[in-house]
Structure 1
């Protein structure tokens, strides 16, 4: 176990006793309490840390419970048969209780190292931490965390809250300060910029100017982050119930372009209808999550990238490409470019392509095409998408109304209304040939429309 070291923070350590804070064991998961008590009873320090402590102090029920300790990962594994060690960059212990995982991290130290050099098991390359497994004291551990509000600890030994960096004051002021020099911390891990935006949106906090000032210069560093990691961050931004706030926060701080460059260009060029569509899609997603309804990332990503798909398809059509081929090529090109930035999995891109390509078929109202479209496995998602697009033109508003009414009619009445050769109005791209319904994985992939 580690010996205590002097406090290295500019803020004096505050130990807040149980009767002066709102954290209660009643709101901590039973699994987390088991881990805390077993570590404590085995002679180790055991503290709840991070977002869980922050949320409990804000009277919000946490989704995850992380624990910090002076026990090494190997020592943690010896205490729990249901424990597995993960990670090379950051060695962690996961204690598994059915579907709940309690993450246990050893106090991290503040080892110094130069570019490309290493100190113990800490490696920094070009300012970025590529491995960091130096153990230290709780004071050092607090300084290694990202934001002050995420660096408070709930001690199971006496039920006090420990604050080494001024997190309680930031909770009171509803502001986010980064711990340490912001430029250095963002260079260590550029994704911290996205976390700042996400946390500010989630908590409805402001980002302190000292923490947001480096965004303009350092945002391009996000282009070097792993696309798969940026996909995970995008899910946290847009699929947690505060998508609209996150989207606006990204735009305000210039962080949208590294994630969705084509979308950022279109919005910067003044595409107001696209902006309205995206914001409505975000708001709808937030509302569905609040109501406990299912949502799919495919729908929201389709909304975000719609402007680029629409413009590329129209350009191909103007050059003489058949509408059916134009929409397919546009969808493939946009996804090929986008996945270089955010690696959207195929189970979602298949759904996105169907949503986009089906848009050109809503203007085709022969009996045969109408019934085939109604039976398409992506019809509901594509229909919801059409309703979002209604702000683009009066023609689209009329289409949305027509298809809304068509779904409410009995099949026989709809067929009679259409007639054997009846044709309605056509939109741009309505010459798209009937696409054969794909069989196998493509037909079933993704599932789960944005609709009920």
Structure 2
């Protein structure tokens, strides 16, 4: 484990922000060659106005204990961003110079998780979990996990609004990349080179859109142009990862705005190609119905947590209407005129391809659709009824199984 870089000259600098003129400190760190060439802006409490009482007490205690043992420890990422925007953070993640094993020795209530990316989860009695990560080097990737220095960890962050480090002991924000000023200017700007950022990890394009939607910021023009150009790369990400990203979008409470931005930046097509195809061919009325359904879901999530199946119903109901799946063929019209349940389930799965959602969630979504259309849920057919319908029971081994079942 590398020792923390010594802090060098600290000087006062008069900086003009978007709001006023304030005194901001500069702090210099040594680079890989030992030269004091790395500059960070230090925002004191009078500049950032973050009230320490707004920070989770257990997160502060974790940082304090690590500091007392000689390690660097900071609250990082989304928590600092949200505090600067006067929002309540959902999580307080911590970055430290201590290795996972060193962190675990300091906290009995902790556990090392992950094989490739070794993190430490620290558990508390109220069910709360704080995640502690060791500084990582830029070359750290999927197959190799390389620990690094404080500054190296900064350069791995995707966007400047997430590359801020708050020290609870000093009550200062350390900013190497101009993230505070970007937040004040309300702009999403990339820290990584745009020539490689989205090719290395296409999901970063989704994150840029999510950050812009959730914070009300605008995406920097050069970032927006690159997203539109490289949007098809999103389809190369793993299905499991994209499926989980969709779930995060739906439960964010900002799904309507996120999906509108995804549509604008051509990201909906690689994520949900069938839905995007129907939206483009269905005209403005269908697109607005799609977004209004998501807006209704966001509104309901203000007062209650929705299940995965319920969220899928809000996502797909307007588009399912356009597929014609609810039309009952004249030759198969029953007295109740109920569409085939299994056809509706299959159509919903087709809409979500290539993403895969658990069967129970898809079936729950279809049940909500039946309920909202005032249709009675058909009785679930048995496996043997399905096989009879498909003709598979004509095979000898199926016939024997059917006779055995009928004879008890």
TM-score category (smaller protein): 0.7 to 0.9
1:179-328 matched pairs, under 5 angstroms: 179-290=191-302, 292-314=303-325, 317=328, 327-328=340-341
Instruction: Give the aligned partner of residue 134 of structure 2.
Output: 106
Structure 1 residues 30-39 or 306-315, which shifts more?
306-315
Give the alignment's Cα RMSD to 1 decimal. Answer: 2.8
Instruction: Give the aligned partner of residue 348 of structure 2.
Output: 335
How many residues are treated as equivalent by the alignment? 352
Deviation, 1:57, is 1.3
Residues 173 and 157 of structure 1: is their aligned pair in 2 closer, same or farther, counting only changes over 3 Å? same
Check the 8 A contact 1:227/1:340 in 2, yes or no: no
Residues 15 and 361 of structure 1: is their aligned pair in 2 closer, same or farther, counting only changes over 3 Å? closer
Check the 8 A contact 1:110/1:144 in 2, yes or no: yes
Deviation, 1:288, is 2.0
Q: TM-score, normalised by structure 1?
A: 0.71
Give, in whole Å, the separation in 1 of the partners of 2:318 and 2:300: 24
Give, in whole Å, the separation in 2 of the partners of 1:138 and 1:95: 21
Instruction: Give the aligned partner of residue 401 of structure 1.
Output: none
Q: Gaps spanning 5+ residues in structure 2: where? A: 6-28, 383-408
Q: Does 1:52 align with 2:79?
A: yes
Q: Which of 28, 42, 45 is the matching residue for 1:15?
A: 42
Deviation, 1:17, is 2.1
Q: What's the CA shift string for 1:351-401, capped at 9, x where partnerless?
A: 112233456655xxxxxxxxxx5xxxxxxxxxxxxxxxxxxxxxxxxxxxx
1:100-139 matched pairs, under 5 angstroms: 100-111=128-139, 122=140, 129-139=141-151
Q: Does 1:38 align with 2:65?
A: yes
Residues 274 and 109 of structure 1: is their aligned pair in 2 closer, same or farther, counting only changes over 3 Å? same
Deviation, 1:13, is 1.3
Which of structures 1 and 2 has the larger relative contact order (alpha carbons within 8 angstroms, sep 6+)? 1
Check the 8 A contact 2:279/2:287 in 1, yes or no: yes
Q: Gaps spanning 5+ residues in structure 1: where? A: 112-121, 123-128, 363-372, 374-433, 440-452
* DSSP-derived class of the 2:268 partner: coil
Give, in whole Å, the separation in 2 of the partners of 1:143 and 1:208: 19
Q: What's the CA shift string for 1:311-370, capped at 9, x where partnerless?
A: 4445974585558785435423333334543322223111112233456655xxxxxxxx
Instruction: Give the aligned partner of residue 379 of structure 2.
Output: 436
* DSSP-derived class of the 1:131 partner: coil
Deviation, 1:104, is 0.7
Check the 8 A contact 1:298/1:352 in 2, yes or no: yes
Instruction: Give the aligned partner of residue 96 of structure 2.
Output: 69
